[in-house]
Structure 1
């Protein structure tokens, strides 16, 4: 008997944890959706509180496609922001560094030997 009770509790715990994941995804999607007014967001949240399982199912059926699109768009925007930050912090490419050093050499600011050192450093 103890085995079946434990198995039943584990099943319900799994269902509850899955529900919590769905609930957090839905609440995140509600506040990410700019096309939905504040009143509709409040209505969804109230229904999530008073009729939780039914509301989760209805939300996933009614707004699941838009939820996937908003999630994908948010992931793309985060990836683009990360790539932009990395490009900004990384500095110049080796080609740009060599061109800058060449411009300094042509202007007479550095010697040919210093140019070769900078070129080697950029290519390393």
Structure 2
């Protein structure tokens, strides 16, 4: 058994910490890049050439491009994100209101109309034949 056996203590705790930190920073970096690219596409104040220039800058020189973008346009990133969320919320609210309005019946239900008609007949304000004609109208 002269083969080398790798044990858990061959990788020190500080090495695990550094590896975890670098993975975290790597994921954070990609999150930042996607956030910047999303902001570039979301911004309606920029024309196509400006958007292309920012994208090329961020892709070709990622660190410099990302830091310059955040310095130059970072203040508006939060505002644009908030506006986009509010616009999506408004569209959803309008859709819910429209759907709820079409789902609700326009007038009283046939059950309510029949109950009211029964009360009128019970009070003697209409005859049985009038009750039957009105009932047929409601049910058809």
TM over 0.5: yes
Tell me what 1:107 maps to: none
- Distance in 2 separating the partners of 1:80 and 1:113: 43
- 1:17 maps to what in 2? 27
Q: Distance in 2 between matches of 1:14 and 1:44?
A: 26
Query: Aligned residue for 1:35?
Result: 45
Q: Which residue of 1 aligns with 2:136?
A: none
The equivalent position to 1:100 in structure 2, one of 98, 107, 117, is: 107
Shift of 1:91: 2.6
Task: Give CA deviations for 1:38-81 in whole Å, capped at 9, x if unaligned.
Answer: 11111111111222122212111211121111111100000001
Q: Within 2, Cα distance between the matches of 1:42 and 1:12?
A: 30
Gaps of 5+ in 1: 105-109, 115-124
How far apart, CA to CA, are the structure 1 residues paired with 2:44 and 2:67?
Answer: 22
Once the two structures are superposed, the pairs formed by residues 1-124 of structure 1 within 5 Å of their partners are: 2-91=12-101, 100-101=107-108, 110-111=113-114, 112-113=116-117
Deviations 1:87-122 (A, max 9, x none): 11123698xx5x8229x9xxxxx44248xxxxxxxx
Higher RCO, 1 vs 2 (CA within 8 Å, ≥6 residues apart) = 1
Q: TM-score, normalised by structure 2?
A: 0.65
Cα distance change of structure 1 residues 37 and 92 upon mapping to structure 2, 3 Å threshold: closer
CA root-mean-square deviation? 2.5
How many residue pairs get matched?
Answer: 105
